[in-house]
Structure 1
Amino acid sequence: MMQHELRRTGMLIGEEKLTKLHQSKVVLLGLGGVGGTCFETLVRGGIGNLTVVDNDIFTLSNLNRQLLSSYDNIGKYKVDAAIERASQINKHCVITGYKAFIGLENMEEIIPEGTDYVIDAIDTVTSKLQVIEYCRAKEIPVISSMGTGNKLDPTKLIVTDITKTTMCPLAKVMRRELKRRGIGSLKVISSTEKPLVPMEIGQESTDGPVSMLKKRSTPGSTSFVPPAAGIILAGEVINDLMER
């Protein structure tokens, strides 16, 4: 029987595909600017089993772009906020959360046999490569987000193969490293916009908790490019799962 919450979606795709989505098992890696919006779109889109992985907490600097962030959530684990959020919008979605960095030591636990789709919204190149290699070996579909920082035009976001990406420093590194590993193709979302050079406007605020992730450089970001990428990622996954 169709969930009443998803009746409007069912009007477009029918009950059979809604059931298929409800039975799907998706793993989402990263709950930041891209991943947080992707998460909510998947939950509202009818995915029935969702595993989320993120080891970070919310800080003040997340408020400009991360859908799950709020003043009330500052200092709270992103995974905890995501699970709480999901309970408010789709009680039929089963969420499994990991407050962890994904790596070779926990890959099989987080992405078990039978996973229908993996969404990579991670910032770290090493982790992205490990996940992609693992998914290829296990024949699990994976889609990967390239860089969305230092961009201002969400209409320049495209879904393409990694080999066709341009204007993205992260994609350039990923192309090179995937080629070294014998991986010639990968479905990605990437921007064709030339990245801007961020201005230095002072240090991160010390008025609240500081991110536990150590980054070499902090990109500028907006309220509309990373979230737009998250919606597109979720849409790709939902459409792919429906058409299997």
Structure 2
Amino acid sequence: MAFRNHRFSRLELLIGKEGLSRYRNLHVMIVGAGGVGSFAAEAIARAAVGSVTLVDHDEVCVTNVNRQLHAFTDTVGKKKVQLLVERLQKINPLANYHAIAEHHHPDKNDFIFAEAERLAGKPVDAVIDCIDTLIPKVDLIVRCKEKNIPIWSSMGSASRLDPAQIKCADISETKVDKFAKQIRLKLREQGITEGVRVVYSTEEAIDPEQAVPGTEWHCICPTIEKEFGACQHKRVMLGTNSYIPPIFGMWLAGDLLKHYLEGIDLKNRDTFEKTPTYDEFKKVLNLGQPK
């Protein structure tokens, strides 16, 4: 029968055999597995990317439920990266997913790059940066630039409500976003002024009286005493919602995936000779059958 019957057939209809092959040969590292990173990871997995490495030190907190894919009542206290690996394996069991339960920091040098390569058996091809702290974020961007690894970076997604003001551009083109400005200044000190794709918002951040750890904000994390990233180590806790961080993550993944289709003539792509029926798919893939 002249059709390729697999779970990504609909994607192959859109981008052709060559596009799908490019995705399957990619190794994408996603650093930060929260509201932005978890949705970026799922979009990458559902695009049939062959190797994905997830980096995050954190465990699920009950306050993550409003915006993070892996946050449920019964996952509180569990490692985010491990939960995501288990989720992504259900999407595409033929891909390689790896978890690094560490945070990136300048003191750790190239650890996550070396570990990702060791786990996947191949170097990192691209990075999606979903870190929400300044110094580790800037360091990751600088290392990617030094290694000539393309990086897509999330700017500030908290304290915003308007999805229509989310943009994707080179970091040199960002405006309004104060976090992006801080990053631009730090990168300029390293001689980097452009060449980083970012997702940001032109919406002025809503700045009500923020929750300050140690005052009216009471940490309810199951790992309150952890050394890094605990609520009491943060200056403020920013408000966020269910849809802005996911849009950031989806856009980061989308811009990356589009980048890796460059040069393919999609109007003359290799497509199916026949679109299968559901019954044909069901017979070949054992859909709905007990394991």
Given the two structures, how large is their TM-score scaled by the length of structure 2? Answer: 0.79
223-232 or 108-117: bigger deviation? 108-117
Task: Report what 1:146 is aligned to.
Answer: 155
CA distance in 2, matches of 1:53, 1:232: 19
Task: Report what 1:206 is aligned to.
Answer: 220
Q: Which runs of 5+ in 1 are unaligned?
A: none
Task: Report what 1:53 is aligned to.
Answer: 55
The counterpart of 1:62, out of the listed 56, 61, 64, is 64
CA distance in 2, matches of 1:3, 1:205: 49
Task: Report what 1:224 is aligned to.
Answer: 243
Task: Report what 1:106 is aligned to.
Answer: 111
Instruction: Name the count of aligned residue pairs.
Output: 244
Deviation at 1:215, TM superposition (A): 2.3
Deviation at 1:131, TM superposition (A): 1.1
Is the 8 Å Cα contact of residues 18 and 46 (structure 1) preserved in structure 2? yes
> Rg larger in 1 or in 2?
2
Task: Report what 1:239 is aligned to.
Answer: 258
The within-5 A match list for 1:191-202 is: 191-200=201-210, 202=216
CA distance in 1, matches of 2:20, 2:4: 8
The counterpart of 1:190, out of the listed 200, 220, 243, is 200
Deviation at 1:15, TM superposition (A): 1.5
Task: Report what 1:172 is aligned to.
Answer: 181
Kindly provide the amino acid, as one letter, of the partner of residue 126 in structure 1: I
Change (3 A) 1:150 1:178: same
Kindly provide the amino acid, as one letter, of the partner of residue 245 in structure 2: P
40-49 or 108-117: bigger deviation? 108-117
Kindly provide the amino acid, as one letter, of the partner of residue 155 in structure 1: A
Deviation at 1:198, TM superposition (A): 3.4
Is the 8 Å Cα contact of residues 37 and 68 (structure 1) preserved in structure 2? no
CA distance in 2, matches of 1:30, 1:40: 13
Is the 8 Å Cα contact of residues 57 and 75 (structure 1) preserved in structure 2? yes
Show CA shifts across 1:68-112 (max 9, x none): 211111000001100110121111221111000123151441465
Q: Helix, strand or coil for the counterpart of 2:200? A: strand
Show CA shifts across 1:31-67 (max 9, x none): 0010011111111111110011000000110000111
Deviation at 1:209, TM superposition (A): 4.7
Identity of aligned residues (%): 32
Is the 8 Å Cα contact of residues 59 and 77 (structure 2) preserved in structure 1? yes
Is the 8 Å Cα contact of residues 74 and 209 (structure 1) preserved in structure 2? no
Given the two structures, how large is their TM-score scaled by the length of structure 1? Answer: 0.93
Change (3 A) 1:140 1:200: closer
Q: Helix, strand or coil for the counterpart of 2:123? A: coil
Q: Helix, strand or coil for the counterpart of 2:8? A: helix
RMSD of the alignment, in Å? 2.0
Give runs of ≥4 in structure 1 deviating > 6 Å: none
191-200 or 19-28: bigger deviation? 191-200
Show CA shifts across 1:209-237 (max 9, x none): 54951322111000000001111111111
Q: Helix, strand or coil for the counterpart of 1:160? A: strand
